[in-house]
A and B are shown apart, each in its own frame.
Chain A
């Protein structure tokens, strides 16, 4: 019962995610991975933000 409740909750959460995210999860994962060594570096965070925006718009496909 607990499992199915939790499954339902996960399903609900994932259906609320923007389509661009679910479709391009690998792109967002790559961005996270690429910027992991640069936490707290202002300029790198600015570039990361720009890349995420491009990925959300579906422009960054790879």
Chain B
């Protein structure tokens, strides 16, 4: 366990959150920040601003006129949406190993899908913040990428165990390791200064009944399950964890909602590619 602690501490030193995003996050929390303040910071990173504009002008948003500046994008979409797009771009650049069939693009497709489905569930159930839902969905399994890249021996062992026992990576980790990707993700998100509420969601989405007074872990729990069931991307294992009845009740999702919900998610799924 002390080996794990030492290693994860080294990782947080290497895998730092980009300065631009740190600055944007700081600005968002202030009440006197203007769109041009944030645009100025984002524009200092040409690659990032170009990628954000490409995303903003993609068919996902479907604007009839081209958005040519970050400033305008912020005015139209809001601070948080543009920040979330920047985080989406950053995390996809995190290196990963091509072991055990892990494919970074498929993994991020699953994570982005979870974020977008979570946003939709917020709308559908009229619960929670859509921005929090997206970022929590995007980052809920960030620990898997870290496990894959920095703990490749453990990742291989866990993957093999999950395959032969038809269980999720998380279940396998809890059976054969002293730590799991939820714990890794939590440490990484903390080092990136994500708010406690987002870290809590990532910690509890796999067992939302532990926090019955909160709805966001239930939203991510269902989004993760729906994306797995619909095979939107690949979370690195092919299993489907049992979904919680209480999570459904908490969000007031009833049996009759399931089919139209899945159908709607599926009909929008092609647009997910815009984020990759």
Contacts and interface: CB of A to CB of B under 8 A. Distances in A.
Chain B associates with chain A? yes
How many chain B residues sit at the interface, stated as a range, is 20 to 34
A56 to B, nearest CB: 11
Contacts of A51: 229-230, 262
Interface residues of A, number: 20
B81 interface: no
The A interface, classified by DSSP as helix, strand, loop or mixed, is helix
B169 to A, nearest CB: 15
B229 A42 contact: no
Given A37-B166, A54-B266, A59-B263, A47 B229 contact: yes
Contacts of A44: 240, 242-243
The B interface, classified by DSSP as helix, strand, loop or mixed, is helix
A51 B262 CA distance: 8
A5 interface: no
A38 B266 CA distance: 23
Contacts of B99: none
A36 to B, nearest CB: 8
Interface of B: 166, 225-226, 228-231, 238-240, 242-245, 248, 255, 258-259, 262-263, 266-267
30 contacts: A30-B231, A34-B229, A34-B238, A34-B240, A35-B240, A36-B166, A37-B239, A37-B242, A38-B240, A38-B242, A43-B245, A44-B240, A44-B243, A46-B255, A47-B229, A47-B262, A49-B258, A49-B259, A50-B258, A50-B262, A51-B230, A51-B262, A53-B259, A54-B259, A54-B262, A54-B263, A59-B266, A59-B267, A60-B230, A60-B266
